[in-house]
Amino acid sequence: MRSPNIRYLVGLDHLRAFAALLIVFYHGLHLLSFFPRSVGHDPYRYWIHTYNPFVALLEEGHTAVALFMVLSGFVFSVAAAGKEIDYFSFLKNRFLRIYPLFVFMLLVGSSAYASSYTFLGALQSLFFQADFQGAAETGSFSRMFWAVGVEFQFYLLFPFLHRFLERHGMRWAASAIAVCLVFRLMATLHGTTNARDIAYWHLIGRLDQFLIGMVTARLFLRLRHTRLPWGWLSLASTVVVLSVIVAFNQLGGYPKIALWKIAWPTVEALAWAPLLLTYTSFADRIPSAVSRPLAAIGSISYSLYLLHVPCIAILPRLFKPVFANDPNVASQLYVALVILPVLIPLAALSYYVVERPFLGLRVRYLREPVATSTHHSTTRALASLPSEQPEAASARASL
């Protein structure tokens, strides 16, 4: 995804593609594998608990949301580090990025579920509060609206978080992450929502993931020109991610409701951050035959994200899945052979028609800090003065 405010990093599109595809396979596993099973079952009865890291990753594929959150903090901070942000220009770009397809999906879903339409529900979703009760209910069309709502809530805060991090440094970021943990605990102990749902569905559960992404961006800018074995470090970081996911799965996985889950978003983000740092530094070395298709999928990841649940809901009605002895395996084959061949072209069409025209309207929202701008102006003014001494001219040029 190219932007007027950031140098293009192909690794970010690769990781967007991975996260989008993981969430498609994850929802395919949990939605399609239930088709041959009895209606009214416990939705967590068939949850897989395994030491196989790749199966655990698919079973706990909701972790792709955490990767997206860390990516968001990283992307904006890579561009904005050392600069100031024009708040309203930044928000304008964010609206242009996510609102057109979001509104389009809301209108389509409201038409499909007109009997359950409420003005207040639609308004709540339009104001990015879909992670709370009362938002628009439009079946599979609005299934992923909650994450878009949380993402935009972060957008409202990012320019402030950026300024605080620029002024107060890593110690402030660590303190802010501690605040998230403490207030998640307070909300759990003195509220009606459990620790799992607070940590998963709402900004207070995701804010430290954005912050960790912002810190990772600053580490990337410091280390990107360092000659390190980024490929091997990426491989080691992948092992760390898989190990953490297996441990989470063995502790009960997503279905488990436990107080320790107030810390899970932080642990999850700290697992993804090294992979984001190392892979982004390594991705330029990926052969173009692999890199270009991945980058193309990454560029349409937002459409993939919003459209995949409707596809998973609709396509089995047209092309009935064939379930053999293992519904889990059958569901993944169905995603690979039926869902993705339809979903990817549909997402590309959606991107081209709905998203891309608005992306061309984005503006620059970054500017040099006032002190730096004043310094540059002084330098230019001094350089324009007549030179009396060669030494004086040399001194001025060095300012």
Q: What are the tens digits of pLDDT across the range 269-317?
A: 999 999 999 999 999 999 999 999 999 999 999 999 999 999 999 999 9
Reported in sequence order, the residue ranges of 6-138 that DSSP labels E, i.e. its strands, are 84-85
DSSP designation for 386: P
Q: Give the residues across from 39 on adjacent strands.
A: none
Number of CB atoms found within 10 A of residue 203's CB: 18
CB 282 within 8 A of CB 5: no
Q: Which helix H or strand E contains 367, and what residues bound it?
A: strand 366-367
Distance CA 115, CA 283 (A): 48
171, pLDDT greater than 60: yes
Q: What is the pLDDT of residue 391?
A: 35
Question: pTM for this structure?
Answer: 0.89
281 in the Ramachandran plot: left (φ > 0), alpha (ψ -120 to 50) or beta? alpha
260, pLDDT greater than 60: yes
Q: CA geometry: angle at 381 spanning 385 and 372, to 5°?
A: 150
Please report, rounded to a whole number, the percentage of residues in the chain having pLDDT higher than 70.
88
325, pLDDT greater than 90: no
Q: How far is CA 50 from CA 67, 149, 252, in A?
A: 22, 32, 10
The ranges assigned to domains in the chain are 10-367
Buried b (16+ CB within 10 A) or exposed e, 259-273: eebbbbbbebbbbbb
370, pLDDT greater than 80: no
For the stretch 27-61, pLDDT in tens is 999 988 876 665 555 667 789 999 999 999 999 99
120, pLDDT greater than 70: yes
For the stretch 141-153, pLDDT in tens is 999 999 999 999 9
pLDDT level of residue 374 (50, 70, 90 thresholds):
very low
Number of CB atoms found within 10 A of residue 129's CB: 19
324, pLDDT greater than 80: no
